[in-house]
Amino acid sequence: MSAPFSWIKPHPHGVYVEPADCWIDPSRAVDKALVTHGHADHARGGHGATVATPATLAIMDLRYNIRENITPVEYGETVRLTGGVDATYIPAGHVLGSAQILLEHAGERVVITGDYKRRADPTCPPFEVTPCDIFITEATFGLPLFAHPPIEDEMAKLLDRLAAYPDRCVLVGAYALGKAQRVIAELRAVGHTQAIYLHGAMEKMCRLYEDFGVDLGELRMVMDHDKDDMRGHIVICPPSALNDRWSRRLPDPITAMASGWMRVRGRARQRNVELPLVISDHADWFELTRTIEEVNPHETWITHGREEALLRWHQLHQRRARALAMVGREDEDD
Amino acid sequence: MEAFAALLDALVYTRSRNEKLRLIAEYLRATPDPDRGWAMAALTDGLDFKAVKSSTIRNLLKERVDPVLWTLSRDFVGDTAETASFLWPEPLGETGPPPTVSEAVDALSAMTRANVASELPQLLDRLDSAGRYALFKLATGGLRIGVSSRLAKVAFAQAFDVSVDAVEEYWHAFGPPYLELFAWAADGDDAPDTAHIPLFKPFMLAHPLEELHVDLADYAAEWKWDGIRVQLVHVAGETRLYSRSGDDISATFPELLGALQLPAVLDGELLVRGTAQGGETGGAASFNALQQRLGRKTVSKKMLTESPAFVRLYDVLSVDGEDLRGREWQHRRTQLEGLMPRLPDSHFDLSQLVEARDFDHLAEIREGTRDDAIEGLMLKRRDSLYVPGRKTGLWYKWKRDPLLVDCVLMYAQRGSGKRSSFYSDYTFGCWNGDPDAGADLLPVGKAYSGFTDAELKKLDKVVRQTTLNRFGPVREVERTLVFEVAFDSVHESKRHKSGLAMRFPRIHRVRWDKPVHEADRIEALRKLIRD
Ligand SMILES: [Zn+2]
Ligand SMILES: [Zn+2]
C-alpha cells in the first residue's frame, strides 16, 4: 500500500491527481483538467479535456472557445475518473458556476475549494461545508485586518452617493466576471430598478449570467448613449477602465470600486477611488478560519494569497498546514 | 467622534479642493462646540498629546494580537494607526457610547506615559474601526489627509461667510477649541478683542510682472531674496514669528524672539548667515542651507551657532502701537529706515532699494542677479497701502529669467482631479555622457505644469503610444520627446541618481522638433549650480 495521500501531488502550476492522470485548475495546458471556476487564474484554454460545471464551461467557451471534449458536472454530481478516483462538484459561493471539488480515493477525502466566500450571493448557490482529510484552500484575504462589511452597508453607500449627485454618475469598477453581476443583482435586490449602464467589455458576461437565470434588470450600453442619458445613473466598468480615457464620455463620474482591497485606505487612494465599496467574492479572515474549523481537516494546504498569516493561525491553533506556492495566481478580487 | 471619523474618511478619498472645502464647512456648521473647535485644531495641526506616540499604539496592539500577525498586517497596510484600528479586538460585553471629540481630547490630554496603556484602551473599546482610526490620528497628530491649515481656515470662512483675512488674523489669538472664534463667526457675536495679542496680520502679496513696463517714478525696486517670507510681531512683551501661511514658527527660530523688544509688526525675508547672498551687514546662505532649519519643532545648539537666522526687513506694519497699514509704502519705508538703529544688527538688516536710471537700466541690473543667487526684483508702488492678499497694480515680483535645460521625457504619471484620465506628471532626464556613445538618461526632475490643455492631450497620446512598462499609475515611455524645462535653481541632492535636484521645474516648451540625442547632458546642468 502506498503512503497516505501520495495519490495527490501539488505542483507550482496545479494539483495533480496521479491515478486519474488529471490536474485541478492547472495554469498551463494539460491533457485533462478539472476546473473549479471561470476566473483566468484558475481556468485556461487549450486542455485536451475539461471537466467543470455547465456555467463554468460556458464561461470558458466565451473566453477560450472550448466546445470539444468537455464534461459538464452538476452541483452534487459525482464523476468517476480513471484509477478509482471519484470527483464531486460542490457549490463554492464564489461566482456563477464556481465549485469546490471533492476527490475520494482509497477511503481518503480531499477538498479543493478553488476560490470561495461564505456570504449570500444572488448569482450563485452558497458554499457548503464538506468534511475531508485534506482541505486545499485559497487565502486571498488571509490577514486578520480583512473583515468584509455587510453588503447592505455598501449598497447604501453607493445609492446615497448616487442620490446626492443627480447630475453626475457613479462609475463602479468591478471585475467583469462575478463582481459586476453580483453588484447589479444586489442593487436589484435592494429595489434599485433604474437602468444600469455597462462598459462594452461587460456585455457578453452579463448576457451569459442572464442565460443562466440571473435577473439583472435593465442594462444599457454606454456606447449607445449620450452623456446626458447617464446622469443620475450607475455605470459599471472593469477596474482597468476607471481612470482611462474611456471615462471621459461619462457625465462627471464619481469613481467607485467594488473590491475587498478597498478596506485599506491606501489601496483606494492609489487607484484614485473616491467611493470605496468593500465588496468581495472571497472569504475574509474570519470566514477563512471559521471554515477551517468547521471542515476540521486533518491538514490544510494553502494554494494562494496571504499564506504566511494563515499558516501562523494554524500554528497558533495547533493545526497542520502547508503552503503550496502556486504560481500565476495574482491578487484577485480586483 | 463618529462625525469627525466620517469627515476624515471623506477627506481621505477626496481630491478636489472645492469638495474638501465643502466637506469641512458642512461639518463645522453641523457640529456643536467645542467638538468642531477641536476638529479644527486637529486639521490645522494644532494638537499634540505627549503620552501617545506611534510606538504606544504598536505596544498596545502587540499585547492583544499575535505579534507575527500584527507585523504581517502592518506591512501590508503600511500605516500603524490604520492597522491598529483594524486589529483592535472588539470588546466583550457592554461598553459606553462613543466619546465625543472633546471627551476624547480631554482624556488624551490627561494621559501620561505611566497610565496611557490602561487609559487609551478604554476609549478605543467605545469606538468602531473608523472611530479608532480617527482617534489614533487625533492622538498622534499628522493626519496626512491633504488638508493644509490654510485650507481648513478657508473652509471655516466659507462655512460662516466671514472674511478669510479676518479668520487668519484672529486665528492665533485663541487656542483650541476656538470658542470665541465660533461665537463671532457662527453666532454673530462681536469681533474678538485682540489688541493685546501678538497676532498674525495677513501678508500683502505680489503679482508676477508679465510684459509690463513700469515707471520708476511710481515704483521702487528691491531685491527679491531667496529665503522665506516671515512676519515678526511683538505686542505686550511677547514676540511671535509667523510664516507666509500664518503658521506660528516661533519655536523653529527662537533666536529671533529675543531680538525684537519693541512693539512692532515687521515684514521681511528670513535667511541664515552665509556668503551666497549679499546684504548690508553681511551675506546669507543659499536656500538649501535655510532648508536644513525649516520644519523643525526644536533646534539644537549646534544649528543655532552654525546657521543663525536673521531677517532682512522690507516693511513695517505697525510700530509703537500705531497701525501703519493704512499709510503709503513711501511713508512706511521711511519709518522702517528710522527704526533700524533701534534693532540689533545681529538679527536684522534692511533690504536695500535698487537704484536705476530707468526701467531698461533696471532690466540690465536684473540680468546680472543670477550670480548673486537672488530670485529677482520686487517692484512696489510708492503710494501703495499695505493691503492683504494680491491686488493688481500695487506690488510686482519680477523674477530673473529662469534657467533652461533640454531634457528627455522618461516616465509619466496620471494627474489628479480633472486630470485623472491624463498622463500629466512628467519625469525627465539628462544624458550622463555622449548619447551616441551609449550614454544613459538619468532622471533630474519632475513637472506637471507649463503646457496648454491642447498640448496635454497631445502629450497624453504620446505617452500611451510609446509606453514601455507600467508600474501602477506610472508608465515608462520610449525616449522620443524633448522638453525645454525651466527652473529656478539646481543643487546637489543625494535623493536622485543624477545627484542633482531642480527647484520649481516646469515645462517651458515642448520641443516636438528636437531629436533626443541633442538634449542636454548632466554636466551642463551641474554647471548651473550656484550653491
Ligand atoms: Zn476566482
Ligand atoms: Zn483564485
Catalogue all structural domains in chain A, each as residue range(s) with its CATH number: 8-145+282-323 (3.60.15.10), 151-277 (3.40.50)
Q: Is B148 within a domain?
A: no
Distance of CA B466 to the CA centre of its chain: 35
| Cα distance between residue A38 and residue A62, in whole Å | 10
The answer to whether B74 and B100 have CB atoms below 8 angstroms apart is no
Helix or strand (DSSP H, E) at A186: helix A179-189
Distance from CA of B420 to the nearest CA of A (A): 6
Distance of CA B367 to the CA centre of its chain: 29
Contact A272 B416 (CB under 8 A): yes
Question: Of B523, B391, B412, B424, whose CA–CA distance to B474 is shortest?
Answer: B412
Host domain of residue B470: 403-526
pLDDT, residue B211, reads 66
Residues in chain B with pLDDT values less than 70: 142, 146, 211, 275-283, 286-288, 295, 368-373, 530-531
Q: Is B72 within a domain?
A: no
Contact B68 A313 (CB under 8 A): no
The answer to whether B230 and B249 have CB atoms below 8 angstroms apart is yes
SS (H, E, C) B396-449: EEEECCCEEEEEEEEEEEECCHHHCCCEEEEEEEEECCCHHHCCCEEEEEEECC
CA distance readout (Å), B481 to A227, B339, B427: 34, 55, 12
Calculate ∠ Cα A321-A324-A329, nearest 5°. Answer: 130
Same domain, B291 and B321: yes
Is this model's pTM higher than 0.80 or not?
A: no
More confident residue, A242 or B439: A242
Same domain, B412 and B386: no
Of B364, B399, B434, the one marking the end of a domain is B399
**CA quadruple A175, A177, A178, A182: dihedral positive or negative?**
positive
In this complex, which of B72, B82, B473 lies closest to A265 when CB atoms are compared?
B82
Same domain, B385 and B413: no
Same domain, B385 and B356: yes
Q: Is B335 within a domain?
A: yes
Same domain, B447 and B372: no
State the distance from the centre of ligand 2 to the C-alpha of A37, rounded, in angstroms.
9
Contact A312 B473 (CB under 8 A): no
- Where do we find the cell 545681529? B346
Supply B383's cell numbers: 503710494
Residue type, A219: L
% chain A with pLDDT above 90: 90
Strands (E), B143-296: 207-208, 219-224, 228-235, 238-243, 264-277, 284
Q: Is B256 within a domain?
A: yes
Same domain, B413 and B387: no
Same domain, B437 and B516: yes
Helix or strand (DSSP H, E) at B379: strand B376-381
| Cα distance between residue A81 and residue A83, in whole Å | 7
In this complex, which of A147, A247, A263 lies closest to B421 when CB atoms are compared?
A247
Contact B421 A263 (CB under 8 A): no
Angle of helix B2-12 relative to helix B17-30, nearest 10 degrees, comes to 170
CA distance readout (Å), B300 to B254, B274, B289: 11, 18, 15
Of B342, B377, B399, the one marking the end of a domain is B399
Strands B207-208 and B228-235: unpaired
pLDDT, residue A330, reads 61
Same domain, B379 and B410: no
Give the up-direction half-sphere exposure of residue B59: CA atoms within 13 A in the CB hemisphere: 11
Same domain, B336 and B221: yes
| Cα distance between residue B137 and residue B135, in whole Å | 5
pLDDT digits (tens, 9 = 90+) for B45-74: 778 898 998 899 999 999 999 999 999 999
pLDDT digits (tens, 9 = 90+) for A271-303: 889 999 999 999 999 999 999 999 999 999 999
| Chain B interface test: which of A237, A255, A272, A285 (most B C-beta within 10 Å) | A272
Of B369, B399, B429, the one marking the end of a domain is B399
What residues are paired with B395 via a beta bridge?
Answer: B380
Domain count, chain B: 2
**CA quadruple A214, A220, A222, A227: dihedral positive or negative?**
negative
| Cα distance between residue B390 and residue B371, in whole Å | 29
SS3 B339: helix
Same domain, B367 and B408: no
Interface residues from chain B to A (CB-CB < 8 Å) = 9, 12-15, 65-66, 68-69, 72-73, 76-79, 82-83, 86-87, 414, 416, 420-421, 460, 464, 472-473
Band the pLDDT of A171: cuts 50, 70, 90: very high
Q: What are the residue ranges of helices labelled H in A68-127?
A: none
Band the pLDDT of A249: cuts 50, 70, 90: very high
Same domain, B296 and B430: no
Distance from CA of A269 to the nearest CA of B (A): 6
Supply B184's cell numbers: 463671532
Same domain, B481 and B507: yes
More confident residue, A249 or B465: A249
Instruction: Report DSSP state, residue A76.
Output: T
The answer to whether B162 and B171 have CB atoms below 8 angstroms apart is no
- Does A270 score more than 50 pLDDT? yes
- The ipTM value here is 0.96
Contacts of residue A96, defined as CB under 8 A and 6 or more positions apart, other chains included, come to A38, A55, A59, A123, A124, A178, A181, A208, A209, A212, A214
Contact B13 A274 (CB under 8 A): yes
Kindly report whether the peptide bond that precedes residue B34 is cis, defined as omega within 30 degrees of 0. Answer: yes
pLDDT, residue B514, reads 79
Helix or strand (DSSP H, E) at A101: strand A99-105
pLDDT, residue B281, reads 46
- Does A113 score more than 80 pLDDT? yes
pLDDT, residue B295, reads 67
pLDDT digits (tens, 9 = 90+) for B98-113: 999 999 999 999 999 9
pLDDT, residue B277, reads 57
- Where do we find the cell 510681531? B233
CATH number of the domain where residue B292 is located: 3.30.470.30
| Cα distance between residue B408 and residue B468, in whole Å | 15
CATH number of the domain where residue B497 is located: 2.40.50.140
Nearest ligand, measured from the Cα of A41: 2
State the distance from the centre of ligand 2 to the C-alpha of A39, rounded, in angstroms.
7
